Amino acid sequence: MHQTNHVAIALGSNLGDSCLILSQALLHLTQVYGMNIIARSHWHRTPAWGPPQPDFINGCAVLAMTHSPLDLLRILLATEQHFGRIRTGKWQPRTLDLDIIFYGHQIINTPELIIPHPEYHRRGFVLVPLAEIAPHWQDPRTGLSVATLAQRLDTSAIVKITHHGSSQATG
C-alpha cells in the first residue's frame, strides 16, 4: 500500500477557454491518475509577466495522491501536453501551466525538481489562491504560513473570478 500525500499545485492558463481548461485539467488528474481533490481555489485573473499577452487565469488545488514527487512532475508535464502546451520559452502564453508548490512538508532539491517551488513565495498569482484554500500550510524551509507570505506581496492586480462570471478585487 502506498502512502497518501497531500500536495499543493498551481494552475495557470492564458490561451483558449482558460477557466474550462483549468477545470478539465483537474478532472483529468482525478480520472486518469487517481488523485483526489481536497480543495480548489476560485480562479483569479492576473496580468501576465513578460511580453504583451493575455491575462492569466490562475488557481491552486490541494490534492491527495500516492505518486512520488518525480512521478507527479511527469504527470503534470504530460497533462500540460495533453491540453496543448507547447514550451517556447519563459513568460510565454500557454494553454496550461501546472507547478508543484508543496509535496507534503518535504524539501526536495535535485536537478530535476525543487520543492517547495523556488519562486512561489514571490508570486501573488500562486499565494492568493493558495491562501484561500490552505492559509496555514507552512513553508518547510522558512516555517512561514502561506497566509503570511501572501500578506507580504502587493496583490492588488489579482482579481477573483466569481461563479457568476463577474470579478472582484482580492488585494
Active site positions, annotated: 85, 94, 97, 99
Q: How far apart (Å, rounded) are the C-alpha atoms in residues 99 and 120?
A: 9
Q: Residue 4, Cβ neighbours under 10 Å: how many?
A: 10
**Angstrom distance (rounded) from CA 87 to CA 37:** 27
Triad 114, 116, 118: Cα angle to 5°: 65
- How many CA within 13 A on the CB side of residue 74? 6
How far, in Å, CA of 2 to CA of 130, rounded?
Answer: 26
Spatial contact of 25 and 75, defined as CB atoms under 8 Å apart? no
Q: What whole-number distance in Å separates Cα of residue 100 and Cα of residue 35?
A: 14
Q: How many whole angstroms from its chain centre is CA 72?
A: 13
